Amino acid sequence: MGLFALVSGVWDAFTSSLKTQTAAWMAAFIIGIFTIFSAQITERVKFALNRADLRTKQYEELATEVSKYIFSAELLVEFIEHDWTTKKSMTDLGDYYNKSVMELRAKEFVYHSWIQKFWGQKQAGQFDAYIKSVREFDSTIHSLNDEFEAVNINDSKKKIDKNRAEEALKIMKPALEKMRQEGTALLAEIK
């Protein structure tokens, strides 16, 4: 039995050594895999953080532009509704309105691509509905262009014709309300 015990002891020592070495090799292998892929994992984490940061910044910019445009449209309607349409009041207000619509529309495709990339197709459709309502409202404003020109440029009138203003307001107010609803829905959807 001496030889058998000796062989058994050597075998036990060999298997124990093999287990220890295997565990050490496995740990080294796992550490090596993590080391190889750590750059990719780090890059993915960075990308996710940057994406979240960009999404926040882009939301803030878009929300500011939507808010600014709706506010300028509301001011315009309020001034027309209350017959505050002298050259002095309409010049600055018209400039403010035109600037806000131009800023929004100039970035229309940029905003659409942001929304599609960072929020999705459904939200891009909501943006399209909002922009459609912006166009509809803006076209109602253009129905008074000849009146704005008579007051602001030609000085042939002191104020916008009250009857024309009332007719335009019948279209402007519902268009403004629709645009306000679409803007609110858009910003709630992409938040």
Assess contact for 147 and 83: CB atoms under 8 A. Answer: no
At 22 the pLDDT is 79
pTM of the model: 0.74
At 50 the pLDDT is 65
The stretch 148-166 carries a mean pLDDT of 93
* CA 25 – CA 74 distance, rounded (Å): 72
pLDDT band at 4 (very low <50, low <70, confident <90, very high): low
The tokens for 43 are: 């890059």
CATH of 54-190, picked from 1.10.287, 2.60.120, 1.25.40, 1.20.120, is 1.20.120
pLDDT above 90: percentage of residues in the chain: 64
Kindly list the domain boundaries of the chain, sorted by start residue.
54-190
pLDDT band at 28 (very low <50, low <70, confident <90, very high): confident
